[in-house]
Structure 1
Amino acid sequence: MAVLLRAKRASVVAKEKMKIEYVDVLKPQGTEVVVKISHAGVCHSDVHAFEHSSVYALYPFPQNPGHEILGTVFSIGPEANGADEELKEGTSVLVYPWISCDECDRCEQGWHNWCLSGKSRTIGGARAGECGYGEYVTVPHPKFLISSAGIEPELAVILPCCGLTSYSAVKESQSSKISCSDGVVVIIGTGGLGLMGIQWAKKISKQTVVGVDISDSALKIATDYGADFVVNSKNTPDVSAFIKSLDIKNKTVEAVIDFVNNVHTHKLANSLCVRGSNLVIVGIAGGAFETNLMMIPLRGVRIQGVFVGSIPDLKELVEICRGGGIRSIVTKRRPLAEIQDALADLQTGKIVGRSILVL
């Protein structure tokens, strides 16, 4: 295949060791589109690749993380059509990276995040290959590109993962047939995902938003991003009593979204649910939790897992962002040369909000 150019790309080559090297960017074939990357988000799941932990430990080095990608169309394959808008070089786009087999029923409906075959082709996933931590990325089809026109770059770049995951979670939290529109939605974990979740909840629901974390500094920022009330669950063990003490009309907990999902947060989330509540589980911290099976039908709590979101979901939230009212949570900007430090800072808890690479 013809080489289009050579460009920089960062790889995890050993545990907690990044290496930047030049790779061939091939001329796009068929439906492929080459995107020149302008910004890339540094997601906490990339830390697992950096550490060679979680699912990333199942795959050998090198690995190429980096799945939040914003850029411009650089080169278009001869059969690249099917985009929502006319595709031309220079168009500003964000990349939907959750690409799987593209053949099963789920993928054909746009639900690549729920692919039935398990044949992941995720951009910036656990395998070596295309990623966002580089200067260019090749996307297999233009349907995975969404125009970012009208959205500031520092907001657009975090939408394919942080924005999409939190938006999908809030949508699921509002899906109960019996919930009251003016009840309470509890958001556990007010880091990057939680801050976006707070904004989506304020945008698409009328419920009172209560942010829960064990960091006072994180809770202070959560208030700035729209949380109506915040509580430190480390200092306030009875969060349910705290909610009941609030001076609001409807104190019914209609939904709990757990953006952490470890043993402690899941126990808290489950305890806050009342009959008919929605419990949305997002985080992958992991662990195990026992429950009384009889109480599942008696309580009627709807438990829903969320793994990022679909292409239609991403298009929905892009339109919401174009309408205004959603703020970027980016607090740190670095060049590609500092990807090692960017991941190390996120690993050690030095990042509040989101950090990004600016190329």
Structure 2
Amino acid sequence: MKAAKLYAIQDLRLEEVPVPEIKNSEDILIKVKATGICGSDLSRYGKFGPKKEVGLTFGHEFSGQIEEVGSEVTGFKKGDRVSVSPGLPCMKCEYCKSADYSKCNSLEVIGAVADGSFADYIVVPAENCIHIPDEITYEQAAMIEPSAVVVHAFYQGDMQVGDTVTVMGCGPIGLMCIQWAKVFGAKQIIAIDVMPEKLDWARDMGADIVINGKEENAYEAVRRHTDGRGTDIVMEAAGTPFTCAQVLGLAAKGGKVVYLGIPYADVTIDRFNFESIMRNELLVVGSWNSITGPYPGKAWDATVHFMKEGKIDLTPLITHRYDLSEVEEVFKKVFKRDTLFGKIMFFPEGVK
């Protein structure tokens, strides 16, 4: 079978390898149907290289069809359609024992410490799998994981019906935030980015107001559109050192700032934005991963439900579809930012 393995920084190789075998009685062999690129994949590919073991199969956002189940697996059978949580909590630490898996002391991820999804087949623990109904396509199901990350962030922010929301950054995660803000009952959604094309996507996903951060001062623009108060919740989904500081000034007094984006660099906060935390008595929360109990958690259940109902449709986020055979060139191109992209999806059986 084909598998894309990461050997070093910007050294991703598509190789022919044996189909993996089930070695644990509670594991499942899955034929990968669709698998997407996560922003963290790009950072690991272009900046950090393999986390632990050199030459592991890369990728962790995916869906597929069960090919074989281990002898002790219950609830799943050959032919079932599944999405898979890539998280690998230890299940032993104090946080895992309280089903707070996102805080696991040694949380790892498929594709970083175990072979991942940029392949024809993958073996995963049965407990990581979740059934997907026929109403959800495989490419939609491959986005359940990042969608659940967004839902978990809204839970962290304790969003209430009627809240106003600002979303900073209109990449795939930010665009998912916009659509989920509607489902959570947002009264007004403001989207901020520096690329006009992404702001167009934000409008299409349901943003009421879009602000180009290059063309106008984001703080002043948000205040102008909110009668001077700011918004109840600010979702930081850009993950840059600048925006991580900037978002603190966009929340209303007593508002909440939720961090989803990962800056991968030191963040320096100027006095005005830092004092906004104190003077405006903000609640600043972080959000990491999406997994809670019962594993993988209610964010996953919510995503499947609202996808099935058609109230969450992430298909418009997919801007590029490729055969898995193109994975090496695609990563090179995307990391160089030679093209504007949203969600990129690979199909081991070919694009149909």
Q: TM-score when scaled to structure 2?
A: 0.88
Partner of residue 288 from structure 2, selected from 307, 328, 331:
307
Which residue is 1:45 aligned to? 40
2:245, 2:267 within 8 Å by CA — same for their partners in 1? no
Relative distance call for 1:8 and 1:67 in structure 2 (3 A) is same
- Distance (Å, rounded) in 1 between the aligned partners of 2:72 and 2:321: 36
2:194, 2:212 within 8 Å by CA — same for their partners in 1? yes
Which residue is 1:190 aligned to? 170
- Distance (Å, rounded) in 1 between the aligned partners of 2:171 and 2:239: 13
Give 1:73-84 correspondences, 5 Å limit: 73-81=66-74
Q: How big is the shift at 1:119?
A: 5.3
Structure 2 portions without partners, runs of 5+: none
Relative distance call for 1:109 and 1:36 in structure 2 (3 A) is farther
Relative distance call for 1:168 and 1:68 in structure 2 (3 A) is same
1:263, 1:289 within 8 Å by CA — same for their partners in 2? yes
Relative distance call for 1:169 and 1:108 in structure 2 (3 A) is same
1:111, 1:309 within 8 Å by CA — same for their partners in 2? no
- Distance (Å, rounded) in 1 between the aligned partners of 2:5 and 2:56: 6
Q: How big is the shift at 1:29?
A: 2.6
Q: How big is the shift at 1:14?
A: 3.0
2:234 equivalent to 1:253: no
CA RMSD of aligned residues (A): 2.3
- Distance (Å, rounded) in 2 between the aligned partners of 1:165 and 1:119: 15
Relative distance call for 1:13 and 1:68 in structure 2 (3 A) is same
Structure 1 portions without partners, runs of 5+: 1-6
2:193 equivalent to 1:213: yes
Which residue is 2:257 aligned to? 279
SS of residue matched to 1:205: coil
Which residue is 1:334 aligned to? 322
Which residue is 1:4 aligned to? none
- Distance (Å, rounded) in 1 between the aligned partners of 2:54 and 2:130: 31
Relative distance call for 1:33 and 1:345 in structure 2 (3 A) is same
Q: Letter of the 2:29 partner, please give it.
A: V
Which residue is 2:309 aligned to? 323
1:184, 1:251 within 8 Å by CA — same for their partners in 2? no
Q: Deviations over 1:149-197 (max 9, x none)?
A: 121222111111x21222222333334xxx7x43421000001111111
Q: How big is the shift at 1:213?
A: 0.3
Which residue is 1:241 aligned to? 220
Partner of residue 130 from structure 2, selected from 123, 135, 146:
146
Which residue is 1:357 aligned to? 346
Q: How big is the shift at 1:356?
A: 0.6
Q: How big is the shift at 1:240?
A: 3.0
2:248, 2:276 within 8 Å by CA — same for their partners in 1? no
- Distance (Å, rounded) in 2 between the aligned partners of 1:258 and 1:119: 23
- Distance (Å, rounded) in 2 between the aligned partners of 1:67 and 1:190: 22
2:63, 2:83 within 8 Å by CA — same for their partners in 1? yes
Relative distance call for 1:58 and 1:353 in structure 2 (3 A) is closer
- Distance (Å, rounded) in 1 between the aligned partners of 2:100 and 2:334: 29
- Distance (Å, rounded) in 2 between the aligned partners of 1:295 and 1:353: 32
2:148, 2:303 within 8 Å by CA — same for their partners in 1? yes
Partner of residue 103 from structure 1, selected from 88, 92, 102:
92
Partner of residue 36 from structure 1, selected from 17, 21, 31:
31
Percent identity, aligned pairs only, is 21
Which residue is 2:247 aligned to? 269
2:10 equivalent to 1:9: no
2:336 equivalent to 1:345: no
Partner of residue 77 from structure 2, selected from 85, 88, 105:
88
Q: How big is the shift at 1:287?
A: 2.0
- Distance (Å, rounded) in 1 between the aligned partners of 2:128 and 2:51: 27
Relative distance call for 1:183 and 1:316 in structure 2 (3 A) is closer
2:170, 2:238 within 8 Å by CA — same for their partners in 1? no
Which residue is 1:3 aligned to? none
Relative distance call for 1:188 and 1:294 in structure 2 (3 A) is closer
- Distance (Å, rounded) in 2 between the aligned partners of 1:112 and 1:346: 32
- Which is worse superposed, 19-28 or 218-227? 19-28
